[in-house]
Amino acid sequence: MSLKVGVLGYRFMGKAHANALARLPMFFPDAPDVERHVLVGRDEEALTEAADRLGFENTSTNWKEVIDEVDVFYNLGPNFVHAEPSIAALEAGTPVLSEKPLAASLSDAERMADAAESAGVPTATAFNYRFVPAIRYAKRLIEDGELGEIHQFRGKYLQDWLVDPEAPWSWRNDAELAGSGALGDLGAHTIDLAQFLVGDVERVSGHLQTFVDERPVEGEDETKPVTVDDAYSAQAELAGGVMGTFEASRFATGHKNDHTIEVHGSEGSLKFSLERLNELELLRDDNRGYETILVTDESDPYIDHWWPPGHVIGWEHTFVHENYEFLSAVDSGEEYHPNFADGLKVQTVLNAIEESDENGEWVSVE
């Protein structure tokens, strides 16, 4: 029997996940059978066009009608839409994947994580960068002690799509609808990777900045206020006294999707760049400096599913790996990470960074 998937949202993330679902039977024959059953949205015309293009059998303009008709519910809507449909789906016993950050507010994220715990079904917060082979390999190296005792983690996520003051306003610029700006949209990925690779964030000191306070509304003769950060930076203490520095910007001129991670340990260091995601830079001997490791063969857990070594993969493959792992967990009932509890852990850090920016003091992450 195949798993019927219902997907809310058909734009950027809808396309990324629909592509992943379509790739599974071709490249991951051991994945459960999946049916792209129903696509959910508000604009009927756009929805019908998207459903045809993305291979969905049905459409619905009412998520309430689909949450107990499907075996899995994907919530890929804007942040403020994450809580209500996801909680309702969980109350109907349906496993849920939600895009990141988990919610637009800490209280919604808490309600979502509580609903997940009560439902006892697999959930996912879509931190797709955990599924880059080089990141999986980095985790293995760190866990095997190859870098020795970890002292520092540094993560930067740089984009530039808002540097033009005339770039239009969108829900991503509104605190009610998005929660935060670069912090929640980009920083959430970095903080999740820090917690995945190194350990929990225990306290933070944060700084948020908005460079352009209002933006034009597309097609209208008006502007709307920007109520979120355009950039943030934070220093952090992670479990075991690891020192962390995090940064993200939508104003980093010339940087399109530049997410970099660095880890320093007593025996070595590593560097990862999303723009070169097939590689990992590794330093284990200071006389030789960093070596570029091509993440293939035994260092890539997914290689057998794709191409021969050296035939590189890209950004979209991270979604295929993520969907494969999540749907396999739904099928087998096994535990899946990153789940809603992991999403809540990140949201708690985001909240602490905002609080620290407001009161000018370090804040403990409870």
Q: Which residues bind ligand SOE (CB under 6 A)?
A: 159, 185, 257
Which of 174, 202 has the CB closer to ligand SOE? 174
Which of 185, 357 has the CB closer to ligand SOE? 185
Least Å from the CB of residue 126 to ligand SOE: 8
Query: Exposed, middle or buried: residue 222 (CB in 10 Å: 0-12, 13-18, 19+)?
Result: exposed
Least Å from the CB of residue 178 to ligand SOE: 10
Which of 60, 159 has the CB closer to ligand SOE? 159
First to last CA, the chain: 43
Q: Tokens at residue 229, please?
A: 């950060």
Which of 159, 269 has the CB closer to ligand SOE? 159
In this structure, the strands spanning 3-8 and 72-75 are parallel
Which of 3, 162 has the CB closer to ligand SOE? 162
Q: Tokens at residue 268, please?
A: 């070595």
Handedness of CA 304, 309, 311, 313 (dihedral sign): positive
Number of H helices, E strands in the chain: 11, 17
Least Å from the CB of residue 257 to ligand SOE: 6
Going by C-alpha positions, the residue among 52, 18, 53, 50 that lies closest to residue 36 is 18
Which of 86, 159 has the CB closer to ligand SOE? 159
Least Å from the CB of residue 258 to ligand SOE: 10
Least Å from the CB of residue 289 to ligand SOE: 30
Which of 264, 345 has the CB closer to ligand SOE? 345
Q: Which DSSP string corresponds to 176-221?
A: HHHSSSHIIIIIHHHHHHHHHHT--EEEEEEEEE-S--EEEPTTSS
Going by C-alpha positions, the residue among 299, 190, 285 that lies closest to residue 246 is 190
Q: Tokens at residue 138, please?
A: 């980095």
Q: Tokens at residue 3, please?
A: 């798993």
Q: Tokens at residue 213, please?
A: 């306070």
Which residue's beta carbon is nearest to the bound ligand SOE?
185
Least Å from the CB of residue 185 to ligand SOE: 5
Least Å from the CB of residue 146 to ligand SOE: 28
Least Å from the CB of residue 157 to ligand SOE: 8
Which of 223, 257 has the CB closer to ligand SOE? 257
Alpha helix (H) residue ranges in the chain: 12-27, 44-54, 63-66, 83-91, 106-119, 133-143, 175-178, 182, 188-197, 315-332, 340-359
